[in-house]
Amino acid sequence: MPKVLVAPSILASDFSRLGEEIHEVEQAGADWIHCDIMDGHFVDNISFGPAIVGFVRKQTKLPLDVHLMIEHADHYVPRFVDAGANSITVHVEPEAKHDVGKTLRQIRDAKCRVGLTLNPETDFKLVEPFMDEIDMLLVMTVHPGFGGQSFRPEQMEKVKRAAEWNRSRPQKIDIEVDGGINPETARVSIENGANVLVAGTSIFRAGDYAKAIRDLRNE
Ligand code: DX5
Ligand code: ZN
């Protein structure tokens, strides 16, 4: 079994002490830092942009996992690359208004890891044509836009399909889940084949970050 990676989403952190929050989750055993970028168009919320990602970059050596919930991702990818992203994940839905294949190549050419994601309502069929082009599939387990929502177990069908795809190919991709991840839903996700857990609320609202991260890994 591959090691389960934990990626705290700083969306749920205390922004007034963002630097310390990042140091604390790094000390607590986080593997990646997940940055949720929202534009108020593709999702109904606005979070932060490349300047904050650049600040996060200066706080940690951990890989920065940038999740773009935005329209026209192709226009903004270079700014997140310059800000220090290690992986960039874009949405497959037509509402994201970009040429998905082209944006994935753009991310690859920028030497970042290539991620693709789909909303709970989106059919797995939409990501299938791109499975050979990506390093990671992110299965959204809530509708994106806000932290603190409940996990949608029916999305495990997509995790299973990605895991099946991995079994049939020599080149394995990471399978990441995002939204409503707590120790119980982490266990369900891992059982179905996920190996990267994004968690905001269950880490940053916990008193002890190290314990919260261990509990997510079911250690
Ligand atoms: C959803 C974001 C998530 C979210 C996770 O819009 O993509 O990364 O912040 O937060 P929790 O863990 O609180 O569901
Ligand atoms: Zn996210």
> SS3 string of 125-184?
HHCHHHHHHCCEEEEECCCCCCCCCCCCHHHHHHHHHHHHHHHCCCCCCEEEEECCCCHH
- DSSP classification of residue 124: G
Query: Is residue 31 annotated as part of the catalytic site, yes or no?
Result: no
- Percentage of residues of the chain with pLDDT beyond 90: 96
Residue 116: pLDDT band with limits 50, 70, 90: very high
Mutate which of 6, 143, 155, 201 for ligand 1 pocket (most atoms within 8 A of beta carbon): 201
Query: Is-above-0.95 flag for pTM?
Result: yes
Q: How far is the CA of 167 from the centre of ligand 2 (A)?
A: 25
Please tell me the predicted confidence (pLDDT) of residue 218: 85
Average pLDDT of span 136-151: 97
Q: How far is the CA of 110 from the centre of ligand 1 (A)?
A: 26
Torsion of CA 82, 101, 165, 123, to 10 degrees: 110
**In whole angstroms, what is the distance from residue 143 CA to residue 74 CA?**
22
Query: Is residue 44 annotated as part of the catalytic site, yes or no?
Result: no
Coil, strand or helix at 13 = coil
Please tell me the predicted confidence (pLDDT) of residue 2: 61
**In whole angstroms, what is the distance from residue 148 CA to residue 36 CA?**
13
Residue with tokens 């994940």: 89
Please tell me the predicted confidence (pLDDT) of residue 219: 78
Please tell me the predicted confidence (pLDDT) of residue 1: 52
At position 29, the amino acid (one-letter code) is: G
pLDDT digits (tens, 9 = 90+) for 24-56: 999 999 999 999 999 999 999 999 999 999 999
Q: How far is the CA of 171 from the centre of ligand 2 (A)?
A: 24
Residues with CB under 6 A from ligand 1: 9, 11-12, 34, 36, 67, 142, 144-149, 178-181, 198-202
pLDDT digits (tens, 9 = 90+) for 55-104: 999 999 999 999 999 999 999 999 999 999 999 999 999 999 999 999 99
Closest C-alpha among 72, 66, 18, 10 to residue 40: 72
Mutate which of 43, 68, 155, 198 for ligand 1 pocket (most atoms within 8 A of beta carbon): 198
Pick the residue whose CA is nearest to atom 9 on ligand 1. Answer: 147
Rg (CA), the chain: 16
The per-residue pLDDT of the chain, averaged, comes to: 97
Catalytic position from the list 31, 36, 65, 74: 36
Please tell me the predicted confidence (pLDDT) of residue 60: 98
| Structure-block tokens of residue 199 | 């968690």
Ligand nearest to the CA of 119: 1
CA 155 vs CA 21, 53, 73, 81, 178: distances in Å: 30, 29, 24, 30, 11
Ligand nearest to the CA of 180: 1
